[in-house]
Amino acid sequence: MIRTLQPELLDSLPPQHPAALHSRRDLRITNRVLGNPEWFARTLTPLLQAGERALEVGAGTGELLAYLAARGLVADGLDLWPRPSALPFKQTWHSSDVVTFTGLAEYPVVFGSLIFHQFGSDDLAALGARLGASARVIVASEPARRRVSQLLYRTIGPLLGANYVTLHDARVSIAAGFLHDELPHALRLDPTAWSWQCTISWLGAYRMIAIRRT
């Protein structure tokens, strides 16, 4: 599959639209099925050094931040959406676009769940240039771009109660996903300055752990 980008329906809906609320519920279930919260907790905990702050880009409604905080990993959030009401006060929320956010240099550890696939080549390159200048660790979980994943979700999604928004966006997200070393290359991380590991889970989660070489 050639990587293709199309608009996702959820991005066009107001946050409190019934279809958007239902789709975010679907996303929570999808993340649990993929094991993303556990994977981020397991991956980020040993990578954070004393006194460092982590930032989740595309933090949405803050479920992953809350999950991590309950396990002792306090991270801040960044999203265009307003600050989630349930987010603990000790966690900072930045209402901004990650491409134009001016505070990236404050965060040596940056992570994102199902967010990097939404960007085209130019924006990924621009974001990677900024992260490459300040971050020490970049961690991501994205869709693996596989037709079998599209077919699987088309079959399983309705059984999980997924609505039309989620079924559309799942297909679009997978088509915009990554394979092999595509994400670090799209971010234009310098292999002489960074080491990375990219894997795909059996359920179709593409995972990247990139660490700056010392």
Query: Which CB contacts under 8 angstroms, 24+ apart, belong to 119-122?
Result: 120/5, 121/186
pTM of the full structure: 0.93
Tokens of 91: 């966690």
Give the per-residue pLDDT at 81. 78
Work out the pLDDT band at 200, boundaries 50, 70, 90. Answer: very high
CA distance 54 to 108: 7
Split at pLDDT 50, 70, 90, the class of 162 is very high
pLDDT of residue 91 exceeding 90, the answer is no
pLDDT > 80? residue 27: yes
Q: Which CATH class is domain 9-212?
A: alpha beta
As to burial, measured by CB atoms within 10 angstroms (0-12 exposed, 13-18 middle, 19+ buried), residue 96 is middle
* Average pLDDT, integer, range 9-37: 91
Report how far residue 131's alpha carbon sits from residue 138's, in angstroms, rounded to the nearest whole number.
Answer: 8
Q: What are the tens digits of pLDDT across the range 169-194?
A: 999 999 999 999 999 999 999 999 99
Tokens of 206: 């593409």
What is the per-residue pLDDT across 46-72, written as a single tens digit (0 to 9) for each?
999 988 999 999 998 889 999 999 999
- Give CA angle at 18 (114, 15), nearest 5°: 55
Question: Using the 8-state DSSP alphabet, how is residue 49 labeled?
Answer: P
